[in-house]
């Protein structure tokens, strides 16, 4: 018997429909074998790309209407905006489909029937996406104020100005999220260095605390640099630091303790909090800061 030549292995490097996979020599058994993730009725993604935002979006767009645009959380991901306090297991892609048709939400997508103007759409890394300002207005409809403030702080660092965001409220003055956006926008501050710092600042705001200075530089009596604090009330000589995950590292932890000693020696009160405080005991955190300000 003459041996039959073996078919060369086919390696997919991006999303594919079932029909395209079969045309490339990959049958249904191979698609189900574990090397691919089925996103929807007829769309597959190599498992190695499941954490790739661009690949995931491209896969969904393959079977979306031609005028579909990445929006909401999907747009935020494309713009590099981190959203705190949301369900990370929800991998559905948000799409605005402005035109008529029968497109509907599926397991891999949320379809929003909203109007879009030409200047509210652009492309990012080759993908159709809402502009940063329009993304903010859409997110205002689905995020709670602490998360929206975190998005706003990141945007005003350079992706969009406060005037651009205000223009979105002028264009879309009503509807879901409008009141929320109007409350959050005046608090935007590009000096916030992490999304959870923004969340903590919102908690201070709704708790009735005076607005803190952000990234305040502490100096000793000779004017030498001692530290830079996340939040400060210089008139009260009170500082607050939010310690994220990086502060669990031993080397960082040791540096934090040494810096804390220098700050206290310079005559400041320093309070330190983590996400466990911000999420688990926010009222107690605000009460402790208020007490320190009254001391």
- pLDDT tens, residue by residue, 137-182: 999 999 999 999 999 999 999 999 999 999 999 999 999 999 999 9
Extents of the domains making up the chain: 16-45, 64-187, 195-294
Q: What is the pLDDT of residues 200-237, one digit of tens each?
A: 999 999 999 999 999 999 998 899 999 999 999 999 99
Residue 105, number of CB atoms within 10 A of its CB = 12
Contact predicate 273/240, CB 8 Å: yes
Q: What tens digit of pLDDT does each residue of 12-44 get?
A: 778 888 888 888 888 888 887 778 888 877 888
pTM: 0.89
User: Homologous superfamily of 195-294 in CATH?
Assistant: VSR Endonuclease (3.40.960.10)
Which of 103, 97, 177 shows the shortest CA–CA distance to 144? 177
Q: Are 207 and 290 in contact (CB under 8 A)?
A: yes
């Amino acid at each position: 018997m003459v041996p039959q030549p073996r078919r060369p292995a086919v390696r997919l490097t991006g999303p594919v429909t079932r029909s395209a996979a079969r045309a490339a020599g990959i049958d249904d058994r191979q698609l189900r074998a574990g090397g691919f993730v089925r996103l929807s009725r007829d769309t597959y993604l190599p498992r190695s790309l499941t954490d790739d935002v661009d690949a995931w979006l491209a896969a969904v767009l393959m079977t979306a209407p031609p005028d579909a645009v990445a929006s909401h959380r999907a747009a935020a991901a494309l713009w590099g905006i981190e959203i705190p306090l949301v369900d990370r297991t929800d991998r559905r892609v948000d799409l605005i489909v402005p035109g008529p048709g029968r497109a509907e939400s599926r397991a891999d997508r949320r379809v929003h029937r909203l109007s879009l103007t030409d200047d509210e759409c652009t492309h990012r890394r080759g993908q159709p996406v809402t502009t940063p300002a329009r993304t903010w207005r859409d997110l205002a409809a689905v995020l709670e104020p602490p998360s929206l403030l975190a998005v706003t702080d990141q945007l005003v660092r350079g992706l969009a100005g406060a005037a651009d965001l205000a223009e979105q409220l002028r264009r879309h003055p009503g509807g879901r999220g409008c009141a929320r956006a109007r409350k959050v926008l005046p608090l935007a501050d590009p000096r916030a260095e992490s999304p959870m710092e923004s969340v903590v600042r919102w908690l201070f705001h709704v708790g009735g605390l005076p607005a803190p200075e952000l990234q305040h530089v502490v100096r000793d009596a000779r004017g030498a640099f001692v530290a830079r604090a996340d939040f400060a009330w210089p008139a009260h000589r009170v500082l607050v630091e939010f310690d994220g995950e990086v502060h669990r590292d031993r080397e960082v932890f040791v540096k934090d303790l040494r810096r804390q000693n220098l700050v206290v020696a310079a005559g400041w009160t320093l309070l330190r909090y983590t996400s466990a405080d911000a999420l688990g005991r926010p009222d107690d955190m605000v009460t402790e800061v208020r007490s320190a300000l009254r001391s």
